Amino acid sequence: MLKYLLLSFLRHLVRPRMVYGYRRADGTWLAHTRISTATDIENPQQLVIEDHVFIGHFNFIDASGGLHLGEGTQVTNHVSILSHSSHRAGRLMGRAYWGEPQPVGFVRQPTHIGPYCFIGAGSVVMPGSRLGRGVLVRAHSYVDGSFPDYAIIAGQPAVVVGDVRELDRRWIEEHPHIASLYCGVGWQAARRPTPQEPGKEGDA
């Protein structure tokens, strides 16, 4: 019984928790932003994050090449958002990769996640990707490239499969008083997004 109580106490101490409030590198206090203690933020000085952002458990947030997370964006769990990639350089240069200041094939590009996006569990967002306002990324997607406002994207590689306003229209019709709040800019009628080809070959 004592062993069980001790283990339960230890699990309670070390389990992931959501921390409310985050101080950005420029000193700005984001009172409504919540980030898990189990999320790793690499190079936070290169992270431009707005308020009302949620970042859940066991995520890798790589800001080494520059990263913008827009207001109200939600990052679920087990997500990687990248601004650099070295796997190709490692293959190309083999043992010579270690210590090389400018390895061939190394990628470092700023990544931009617009306001009120949702990144589903298990997804990877590659360096240089850009998500517009209100983009919904379905779980286990491989995101590489640019995607328009309000797009629903899915797949490996991810492509546009819909528009979030089609999902949200009923809620706006039932609660018209919130239309002006939608995605921070107000409700706009959906226009069917142009079908997209899969993004360019990516780096993990």
DSSP string of 145-185, one letter each residue: SEE-TTEEEEETTEEEEEEHHHHHHHHHHH-GGGGGGGGGT
CA-nearest of 136, 26, 142 to 82 is: 142
Q: Which of 3-7, 102-106, 193-197 has the largest mean confidence?
A: 102-106
Residues 6+ apart with CB under 8 A from 185: 133
3-state SS, residue 83: coil
* pLDDT greater than 80 at residue 197: no
Q: In this structure, are strands 84-85 and 107-108 parallel, antiparallel, or unpaired?
A: antiparallel
CA-nearest of 96, 93, 126 to 112 is: 126
Task: Please state the length of the chain.
Answer: 204
Burial class (CB in 10 A: 0-12, 13-18, 19+), 195: exposed
Write down the pLDDT at residue 204. 42
* pLDDT greater than 90 at residue 189: no
| Residue-wise pLDDT tens digits, 66-96 | 999 999 999 999 999 999 999 999 999 999 9
* pLDDT greater than 90 at residue 191: no
Instruction: Band the pLDDT of 9: cuts 50, 70, 90.
Output: low
Residues 6+ apart with CB under 8 A from 4: none
Cβ proximity of 150 and 135 under 8 Å: yes
